[in-house]
A = this chain, B = another copy of it.
Amino acid sequence: MTSERAPRIAVGPDRDPRFERAVVAGGGLPCGLEETPDALVWTAGVESFPDFLPVSVRWVQLPSAGVEYWLSQGIVKAHPHVTWTSAAGAYSAAVAEHALMLLLAGVRALPAHLSATSWTPESLAPAIGTLRGATVGIVGAGGVGRALIPMLAALGAHALAVTRTGRPVPGAVETFPVERIDEIWSLADHFVISATATRDVERLVGAGELAAMKPTAWMINVARGDLVDTDALVAALRSGAIAGAGLDVTDPQPLPDGHPLWSLPNAMITPHDSNPPPLRVPAYLEHVTENVTRFASGLVPTAVIDPSAGY
């Protein structure tokens, strides 16, 4: 680090001591918003964001991974000379862990085990699979998909990635461009839908895709409910076209009471809590320390917001 002085960094709206410690850990000097800070680390929502920023502020760190609402409110555009960063990536590991949990629980037939009330390995064991040697199709290798790949590798599973461009994703056995997505449904053993939350893709998985999957396949969706055709999924889960599904997101969402997915024994529903509040603060603290470190070293912080791209 060659900077002459530690950057002065305000934590707002209140000076949360956990975040001031994260600033110190990154080599920054916490200060109040009125003390001509070089940067602002924001820990709350849009509604309490200040109408005016001190002209000394060159960088603002926002706490959300998706910043559509911040963009639509015009706050980013109103300060064009400020570098804005999101928390994109900060929560990827939590969501990837959740996806791995759902996938492992499915492949190892945990739902059937949890409903058993008798010691019957002979009826339960035949449904048990393993990720060891299995191929997992990762649809959308953004932060979550990329965080998932080394977790799968540690279990001896192979990743097939699908991305917009098809540029090789580190750690994936093969990366397909989205135009070739149809090839993966019969090729991979299981699937994790982790496409990023942009609006240009819809209904990736319908009846045809589900029919192409192996009957032993588990499909996990931690991205967006409308990427999967819910009625087609319900039919596939009922007919045994696939082994099961783990859904952190649904369509409709919230999933209404009485919906068939609630009672299907091979559907696991987690109500969009792959990254619940108790896990967010520590992850955001880590992200803040990393970005303050970069800022203090004269580097560009990670996850710079590009208003024209929408993230």
A residues contacting B by CB (< 8 A) are: 93-94, 97-98, 100-102, 104-105, 108, 110-111, 113-114, 116-121, 124-126, 128-133, 150-151, 153-156, 253-257, 262-263, 268-273, 276-279, 282
Contact = CB atoms under 8 A, between A and B. Distances in A.
Contacts of A119: 253-257, 269, 271
Contacts of A268: 110, 113-114
A267 B93 CA distance: 27
How many copies of this chain are found per oligomer?
2
7 contacts: A101-B110, A117-B257, A117-B263, A119-B255, A119-B271, A124-B273, A154-B154
A65 to B, nearest CB: 16
Contacts of A255: 119
A278 B98 contact: no
Given A97-B132, A121-B271, A151-B154, 9 more contacts: A94-B130, A101-B108, A113-B271, A118-B257, A121-B276, A124-B270, A125-B273, A132-B279, A151-B155
Contact of A98 (B94, B108, B271): B108
Nearest to A98: B108
A239 B256 CA distance: 33
Contacts of A132: 93-94, 97, 279
